[in-house]
A and B are shown apart, each in its own frame.
Chain A
Amino acid sequence: MATYWQWTNALVKQVLAEHPRGAPIYLHVDDDRIQEAGAEWASPGRDLVSDFCRAVAQEVRASPDGNRISLAGLRAKGDHDRPPAGVGFLALLTLTASRMAADEQFAENNFFSRFRQLLGLTTAQQGRPKGFASGDEEPLWQNWNRWLAQQGYQPTARGGADGPTRFIGYALSQILLSQAHKARLHRLFAQKQWTDVAEPLALFERVRREVGRDSIGSAYLEKVLVEVTGARRTELAEAIYEVYEAWRENPTSQEPVGQRGRTSQLNAGLYRHYDPFDDTVAYRLYPRIARNSSIKELAVFWNGRSYDLTLERPGRLMPDVPISVDDLERLPLSIPATDPSGVIRTVVLPKREFFLLVPDPDFPEAGVFATWGAPRLGDYFVLLCREELLDQLEQLAHENIVRWNGDPVPMGNGWVELRECRVLRDDWSHIYIQNADLASQLRPSERVSISLSGGLHLSSTIDWIQGHGPYITVYSFRSTVQVTIKREGELIDEFTIGRDQPKRLESWWSKPGIYEIQACSGSDQADQRYVRIISLDEIAISPVQQPIGRSIGNATIYGALVEEVP
């Protein structure tokens, strides 16, 4: 049997696998995850989940059929080489959450009766075992969050609202979809036969519209779908999309099957390229891949040419393939493609009446827009849509809910661009527009959002350079927002700020470390962001991919380097 530390290391490795620095990390441990993490110890007849539970039970000295555990050995905070000691135990808590039935109330009693079963404790008694008082797990979660941030990742574990589920809220915050919820979604997709959904958020909104129609079959999942906001909404949408892709790959199966991130079809969005010199706009195909996908390159065959696409950022391939407005007339486009493993066969640009082109989340001020998701509260974005949608959009503009700059710009073939769009109000209750997908994707899910901009930011990470940290701008539907900044738990600043007003003080970012920024406004749900400040010495470089070159005859010059084609 593997030891507690072997399991801890294997699970942490699995949880972090394929995630770039800066990505939000969920300690999402379910039966599948344990099978994947323990693959090297697998043997016929061996139950890896039981192995894992026994390893945790030994570590916390749970006596068989007893009612007491000890967390004394789990306090170590971890360092560069080793995760915090409590992570294996926290993984058991999230496994417990994943095992909850689709409609089981996430009350302490239900939760701990399953927890007791997994740990082999007596089930004759209810609630927390002795030695594990309410709140004892909080320092362990804080250690995990801090350790993740120190490694450059975005922590996500958060407690629930004050009340009886506050502390088990941490475990629940890590489980995006339980096994039972995945099964319910699989059945929903089979029932609805949706085959044309291209974007996780579009699918999410479609699923959310089923709330209250008896088709989801889980009141708990319906509640989550309605209440989830911000970054967690994006992550949940990705998790639902993974179930959707698995169903699309095996539509006849009764239950979710298939390996994570392995499908023969990739979906693509659009990348908008603006040339300020000629004042022209061009679109490019922007294929998306699952975040944990092993695909690193793809050959795409389009209009008689072959394009070799490499990874542009986690979850996206390079936007190199030009897409004209004529091509948009012929949606959906099914484009032949292949990856080195031979799994991928097509990239599909699905049929759409609109594309929401939002600013680059890594560098919002760069002036680049693409289908990176729905606009966040406060974003200025570009809406590329069919002319037929203009009436509905004018209605939103008339109600001062959405505004854009100037007149719609004709792009040809009945497509128009609305530029510098911004959602101004949250008061949509009396608004009805026919295109429900458009309405639900336009409407921001959050009421408070933190935007970090400026400074010297290393793309796709939470890293900024010492002395050049970000400006903080907070968007809210209230006039003021309370902001706190903490560095490694120590309060750096606390202030009230007007919304939409970028603020930065030199003193905030003067020392390297992990900073936690929290914004709350009245009773609106808080938003939270992490920033890691690094010194110049800590900046790492990696080889240049596809550098710009200057061609002369048979040679290309890259700075001081000459590459000659023989």
Chain B
Amino acid sequence: MTRQFVGYIYNKGAKNASGFLRDLTKFLLLHDLDRAVSSIRVERHPQGNLFCFFIGLPVTSGAGEASFPAELEKYLVEIVGSSRLGVFDWSDISRMVGPEINPAEGSLPLAYHVSPPPVVEDLGVPEEAVERGDQTEKYNLALVFLSAVRSGSWEQFRQIVREIWGASGPPPRSVARRLQLLGHIERSRDRWSIAPAVLVRTPSDSEFVLCGQRSMHLLNVLSSRATVRQSSQPNGDGPSRVVVQTDDVTALAQELQYRTGVPIAISSAEKIARLLPPIDAWQAQLESVKGVVPARFSRCQRFNVIDFVDAPFDESRSGFYRFWQTHDPEHPAFEGYWDADRGVWYRGDWYGLRFLAQRANGSPAHALYDPASRMLKLPELVRPPDLYERVLTLSGGWLPERRQSWLVYRDVSQEIVQLLRGALNLSMGDPDV
């Protein structure tokens, strides 16, 4: 391969040689012409804005004259302001030109984008109540994938939900809450982790619900060793409920562990329910927040039996408050429960704070239970704090179903109802489920 040089004189532009070369290199890179041009040479000691330069072109043997890219010709003559001198061989110009400039070694700067601020989703935002059709397969995929990844940041969880459901899917906090209620994951302020695999005893004889970590392999092994039933959660808004029927759960758990390498525990919702403290003690365990100055906020709302309503902050009145700053009317700057007796702000599970507010408002926490069908009904407005609600969902492996203004929990044992009744100060009504 030889080279030919097309010579030009730069005589109408305003740049010096180095400014001209910078522009030319950028043009070649932007138009992917850097490989069509093998080199650029400028005359030695160029003076001001009048100088000669030569574009080197590769010529394949026997191909005659090199082809000159038309857009480059246009750029040099019409835009830059040069005049063509002619075509030269290396021997013609070697004594008059400076060092070779290889356009392929130039570089275009990368763009700089400022990323949007991180999305802050507090633990306490309520679930959305949008019905999206059967989401079981998506939840199953999410659960199997989270089981393999095991733990990560909250941002990672958000990305996983967005990947599975797409941009118009459910809010990640909603997905997380549902998985938490079923004992599949746990969450801290900014992280999540999968929960250990557990066979949870249900009120039905010899039946257990699989909670926590799962894989297709685990489900296959389980199916080959016991009778397994899979069913959808109410409205398909959660992963499949996997129920295992066995007379010897200890032997089954041991065999599963042997075959999958993952420990499988045995537990029951009653075991958790017995640990739950009375609601006052639960409140005392919540994270207290210092430095909240209501006067600094531009708007205040207070939860008033059904919803938040605009109201001035009243230091003497306990309640669930929400504050806004002027610059962001869309998102509350702070939400928390004010305990007027203790003079303390608390932060935590949204439903838990609302439960405290309802109690402070004197709203009755009235539940209905039918021991025969083992169904428990709670008014939606007194949905209990998450750990108390988890006991209700783990009891039978069912998420609650919305029926008008009630939440209906299935397969709840009588012992759990008794324990929660005491802990949450529930008043029990006639069984009309």
Which A residues contact B (CB, under 8 angstroms)?
274-277, 363, 365-368, 377-378, 380, 400, 403, 405, 420, 422-427, 447, 454-456, 458-459, 465, 468, 475, 477-480, 499-500, 522-524, 536-537, 539-550, 552-553, 555, 557-562
Contact = CB atoms under 8 A, between A and B. Distances in A.
A320 to B, nearest CB: 13
25 contacts: A365-B159, A367-B155, A380-B115, A400-B109, A420-B115, A422-B110, A424-B111, A425-B109, A425-B110, A426-B107, A456-B141, A458-B149, A475-B110, A477-B108, A479-B108, A541-B150, A541-B214, A543-B262, A544-B150, A544-B194, A550-B186, A552-B277, A559-B211, A560-B200, A560-B212
B151 interface: yes
B110 A560 contact: no
B156 A363 contact: yes
A393 B351 CA distance: 49
A523 B394 CA distance: 61
B433 interface: no
Interface string B253-271: 0000000111101010101
Given A454-B163, A537-B216, A562 B151 contact: no
Given A552-B276, A558-B195, A559-B186, 5 more contacts: A366-B153, A422-B110, A544-B150, A548-B191, A561-B267
B7 interface: no
Given A380-B115, A544-B193, A523 B109 contact: no
Interface string B216-249: 1110000000000000000000000000000000
B186 A560 contact: no
A562 B265 CA distance: 10
B148 A522 contact: no
Given A456-B160, A499-B110, A552-B277, A540 B118 contact: no
A351 B319 CA distance: 51
Contacts of B120: 276-277
A536 B217 CA distance: 9
A477 B275 contact: no
The 6 closest A-B pairs by CB, nearest first: A559-B195, A477-B107, A560-B183, A559-B183, A560-B211, A548-B186
A542 B261 contact: yes
B190 A543 contact: no
The SS class assigned to the A binding surface is loop
B401 interface: no
A427 B275 CA distance: 65
A552 B275 contact: yes
Nearest to A403: B112
A548 B190 contact: no
B360 interface: no
A541 B147 contact: yes
Contact of A545 (B150, B164, B185): B150
B277 A553 contact: yes
- Which interface residue of A363, A475, A523, A547 has the most chain B CB atoms within 10 A? A547
A562 B262 contact: no
Interface stretch (B28-36, B306-314, B320-328): B28-36
Interface residues of B, number: 75
Contacts, number: 200
Interface string B179-216: 00001111111111111101010000000000111111
A546 B187 CA distance: 13
Contacts of B212: 558-561
The SS class assigned to the B binding surface is mixed
A124 to B, nearest CB: 39
Nearest to B107: A477
Contact of B144 (A365, A478, A539): A539
B153 A544 contact: no
A548 B192 contact: yes
B215 A541 contact: yes
A539 B215 contact: yes
A553 B275 contact: yes
B130 interface: no
A458 B141 CA distance: 13
Nearest to A524: B104
A175 to B, nearest CB: 29
A496 B163 CA distance: 25
A523 B35 contact: yes
Interface in B135-151: 141, 144-145, 147-151
Contacts of A478: 29, 32, 34, 107-108
B72 to A, nearest CB: 15
A480 B32 CA distance: 8
A528 B56 CA distance: 32
A545 to B, nearest CB: 7
Contacts of A546: 151, 193
B387 interface: yes
A189 B215 CA distance: 50
Contact of A366 (B108, B152, B211, B217): B152
Contacts of B192: 548
A540 B184 CA distance: 17
Contact of B110 (A378, A456, A465, A552): A378
B340 interface: no
B263 to A, nearest CB: 6
Given A277-B189, A522-B35, A547 B277 contact: no
B370 interface: no
A80 to B, nearest CB: 16
Contacts of A562: 267, 271-272, 275
- Which interface residue of A420, A553, A558 has the most chain B CB atoms within 10 A? A558
A470 B187 CA distance: 26
A427 B374 CA distance: 73
B114 interface: yes
Contact of B151 (A479, A500, A537, A547): A547
B196 A544 contact: yes
Contacts of B106: 427, 477
B189 A275 contact: yes
A363 B159 CA distance: 10
B122 interface: yes
Contacts of B183: 559-561
Interface string B108-136: 11111011001110100000000000000
Nearest to B142: A456
A523 B104 contact: yes
Contacts of B186: 547-550, 558-559
A420 B118 CA distance: 12
Nearest to A559: B195
Contact of A547 (B29, B122, B194): B194
A543 B195 CA distance: 10
A376 to B, nearest CB: 12
A363 B153 CA distance: 10
A555 B275 CA distance: 8
Contacts of A425: 107, 109-110
A541 B153 CA distance: 19
